C-alpha cells in the first residue's frame, strides 16, 4: 500500500505530466529566472533607499515607472506576438531584463537606477507566453498547465530572497546583481530550445472584425472581463505591499519572522496553484478563481484577528492564493481569444489590470495611514465580493 508521501509524489508527477516538452522548458526557464529575480527583488527598495540615497517618495517613483513600463509593453507585446515568432519575443523579454541588475550594481544614486527600473518593467512575455501556452497545452488541462507554470515563479521565490540577503551581507550587493544577471541569461538560453510558434495568418479580412486595441476594448465581452480582472488586480495590489509593514508595526515582528511568513506564502502559492489548477479543470475556471479570492479573504481576516505566529503561518500559506490570480485569469482569457489575434486580445485585460495595479498601492497607503486595520478590512470586503462576482461571470 502506498504511503501518503508516495501518493502525494504520484499526484505531483501526474500534474507535471500535463506539461509537454515545450511547456516544461518554459517551466524551467521561469524557475531559473524567478530565482535570479528573487535574489534582489525583495531587498531592492531597501538597497535603493540605503545605498543610493532615495527618499520614500523617490522609491515610489522608481517602482511606479516599472509598473507603467510593464503596462505599456504588454500592449506592444500583444501586437507583435501575433505577427512574429512568439518564441523569439519571449526570449527578448528575458534579454530586456539582462541590463537591469548590471545598472543597479553600478548606479551611484537613485537617478542612475532609472534606466534599470524601466528595463525591469519590460514585460514582453505577458501576453506572448499566455498565447503560447494556450496554443501548446492540452485544452482539457489548461488551468492546471497555467498554474503549474506559474508555480515555477513561486518555487523560485521561496528561498531566493533569503539567499540574496545572506549574499548581500557576506559578499555585497554587486555579486547578488551579477548572479541575477547570470540566471536571467540562463532563463533566456533555456527558451532557445522550445519550438517556434506563430499565429495563423488570416487570409481573408472578416467584416467588422476588430483589429486595433481600442476596437477590441469596445467589444462588450472583452470590456467587461477587463474591468473585472482590473478590480481583482486592484484588490491584490492594494493590500499586498503593506502586509510586511503591518506585521512589523502592529504585531512587532522582526525581519526574519516577516521573511519566513513571506516564504510560506510563496510555498502556499506553489501548492495551491497545482490544487486550484486541477480543481479548475474539473469543476470550472470561474469556481477556481472564486476559491482563490475566498482563500485570500479568509487569510486576511485571520491575520487581523491574531498575532500568533503558528496561526499566521497557516493564514499566510492560504494567502499564497493571491499570487496565482494572474495565472487563473490567463487560463480564462486565453481560450476566449481568436487564434489569429490571441496575444493582442490577451494584452488588453492584462494592460488594464496592470494600470489598475499602479493606482492600487496609493489607495492602500491612504487607507493604511488612516488606520492599518481599515486597509485590510477593505481588502477582506473586496476579495469576498469579487469571489461572489466571479461565480456569476460567464467565462
Nearest to 190 by CA among 339, 22, 332: 22
Query: In this structure, is residue 253 part of a structural domain?
Result: yes
Q: What is the DSSP string of 125-165?
A: HHHHHHHHHHHHS-GGGHHHHHHHHHHHHHHHHHHHHHHHH
For the chain, the first-to-last Cα distance in angstroms comes to 41
- Nearest-Å Rg of the Cα atoms of the chain is 20
What percent of the chain stands above pLDDT 90? 35
Q: How far apart are CA 390 and CA 111, in angstroms?
A: 42
Query: In this structure, is residue 4 part of a structural domain?
Result: no
Quick one: pLDDT at residue 10?
Answer: 53
Distance of CA 74 to the CA centre of its chain: 13
Question: CATH no. for residue 226?
Answer: 1.20.1250.20
pLDDT digits (tens, 9 = 90+) for 316-372: 999 999 888 888 888 888 777 777 777 777 888 888 888 887 888 878 888 888 898
Q: How far apart are CA 273 and CA 253, in angstroms?
A: 28
Quick one: pLDDT at residue 181?
Answer: 97
Query: In this structure, is residue 206 part of a structural domain?
Result: no
Query: In this structure, is residue 71 part of a structural domain?
Result: yes
pLDDT digits (tens, 9 = 90+) for 55-112: 877 877 888 888 889 888 888 888 888 888 999 999 999 999 999 999 999 999 999 9
pLDDT digits (tens, 9 = 90+) for 22-59: 999 999 999 999 999 988 887 787 788 888 988 877 87
User: At 166, phi and psi to the nearest 5?
Assistant: -65, -45
For the stretch 369-375, contacts whose Cβ atoms lie closer than 8 Å and that sit 24 or more positions apart, written own/partner, are 372/242, 372/246, 372/249, 372/250, 373/304, 375/238, 375/239, 375/242
pLDDT digits (tens, 9 = 90+) for 246-286: 888 899 888 678 778 888 888 898 889 888 888 888 888 88
Quick one: pLDDT at residue 395?
Answer: 63
Query: In this structure, is residue 239 part of a structural domain?
Result: yes
- What SS3 class is residue 251? coil
User: At 3, phi and psi to the nearest 5?
Assistant: -75, 165
Query: In this structure, is residue 280 part of a structural domain?
Result: yes
Between 56 and 8, the more confident residue is 56
CB atoms closer than 10 angstroms to residue 360: 21
Query: In this structure, is residue 199 part of a structural domain?
Result: no
For the record, the C-alpha cell of 379 comes out as 481588502
pLDDT digits (tens, 9 = 90+) for 280-290: 888 888 899 99
Q: Contact at 8 Å (CB) between 46 and 176?
A: no
Domains of the chain: total: 1
pLDDT > 50? residue 228: yes
Q: What is the DSSP string of 65-131?
A: HHHHHHHHHHHHHHHHTTTS-HHHHHHHHHHHHTHHHHHHHH-SSTGGGHHHHHHHT--THHHHHHH
Confidence of residue 4 (pLDDT cuts 50, 70, 90): very low
pLDDT digits (tens, 9 = 90+) for 170-208: 888 999 999 999 999 999 999 999 999 988 765 444 444
pTM above 0.95, yes or no: no
Quick one: pLDDT at residue 218?
Answer: 60
Query: In this structure, is residue 7 part of a structural domain?
Result: no
Quick one: pLDDT at residue 186?
Answer: 97
Q: Which positions ≥6 away from 156 have C-beta within 8 Å? A: 30, 31, 32, 33, 34, 35, 36, 37, 38
Confidence of residue 215 (pLDDT cuts 50, 70, 90): low
Give the range of the structural domain holding residue 123, as residue numbers without chain letter. 19-194+212-391
Amino acid at each position: 500500500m502506498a504511503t501518503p508521501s508516495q501518493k502525494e509524489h504520484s499526484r505531483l508527477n501526474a500534474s507535471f505530466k500535463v506539461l509537454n516538452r515545450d511547456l516544461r522548458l518554459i517551466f524551467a526557464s521561469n524557475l531559473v529566472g524567478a530565482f535570479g529575480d528573487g535574489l534582489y527583488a525583495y531587498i531592492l527598495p531597501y538597497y535603493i533607499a540605503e545605498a543610493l540615497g532615495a527618499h520614500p517618495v523617490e522609491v515610489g517613483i522608481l517602482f511606479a515607472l516599472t509598473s507603467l513600463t510593464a503596462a505599456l509593453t504588454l500592449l506592444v507585446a500583444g501586437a507583435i506576438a501575433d505577427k512574429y515568432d512568439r518564441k523569439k519575443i519571449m526570449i527578448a523579454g528575458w534579454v530586456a531584463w539582462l541590463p537591469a541588475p548590471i545598472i543597479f550594481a553600478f548606479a551611484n544614486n537613485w537617478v542612475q537606477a532609472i534606466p534599470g527600473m524601466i528595463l525591469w518593467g519590460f514585460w514582453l512575455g505577458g501576453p506572448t507566453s499566455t498565447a503560447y501556452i494556450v496554443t501548446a497545452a492540452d485544452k482539457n488541462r489548461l488551468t492546471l498547465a497555467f498554474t503549474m507554470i506559474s508555480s515555477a515563479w513561486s518555487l523560485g521565490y521561496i528561498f531566493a530572497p533569503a539567499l540574496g540577503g545572506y549574499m548581500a551581507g557576506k559578499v555585497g550587493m554587486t555579486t547578488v546583481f551579477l548572479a541575477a544577471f547570470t540566471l536571467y541569461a540562463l532563463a533566456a538560453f533555456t527558451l532557445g530550445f522550445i519550438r517556434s510558434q506563430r499565429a495563423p495568418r488570416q487570409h481573408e479580412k472578416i467584416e467588422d472584425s476588430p483589429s486595433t486595441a481600442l476596437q477590441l476594448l469596445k467589444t462588450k465581452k472583452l470590456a467587461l472581463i477587463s474591468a473585472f480582472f482590473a478590480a481583482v488586480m486592484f484588490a491584490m495590489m492594494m493590500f499586498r505591499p503593506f502586509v510586511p509593514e503591518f506585521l512589523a508595526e502592529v504585531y512587532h515582528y522582526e525581519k526574519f519572522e516577516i521573511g519566513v511568513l513571506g516564504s510560506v506564502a510563496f510555498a502556499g502559492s506553489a501548492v495551491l496553484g497545482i490544487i486550484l489548477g486541477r480543481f479548475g479543470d474539473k469543476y470550472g475556471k470561474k469556481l477556481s478563481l472564486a476559491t482563490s479570492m475566498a482563500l485570500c479573504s479568509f487569510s486576511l481576516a485571520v491575520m487581523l484577528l491574531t498575532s500568533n505566529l503558528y496561526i499566521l503561518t497557516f493564514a499566510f500559506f492560504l494567502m499564497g492564493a493571491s499570487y496565482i490570480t494572474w495565472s487563473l485569469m490567463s487560463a480564462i482569457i486565453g481560450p476566449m481569444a481568436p487564434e489569429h489575434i490571441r496575444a493582442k486580445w490577451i494584452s488588453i485585460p492584462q494592460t488594464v489590470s496592470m494600470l489598475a495595479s499602479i493606482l492600487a498601492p496609493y489607495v492602500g497607503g491612504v487607507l493604511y495611514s488612516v488606520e492599518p486595520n481599515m486597509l485590510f478590512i477593505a481588502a477582506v470586503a473586496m476579495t469576498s465580493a469579487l469571489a461572489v462576482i466571479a461565480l456569476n461571470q460567464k467565462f
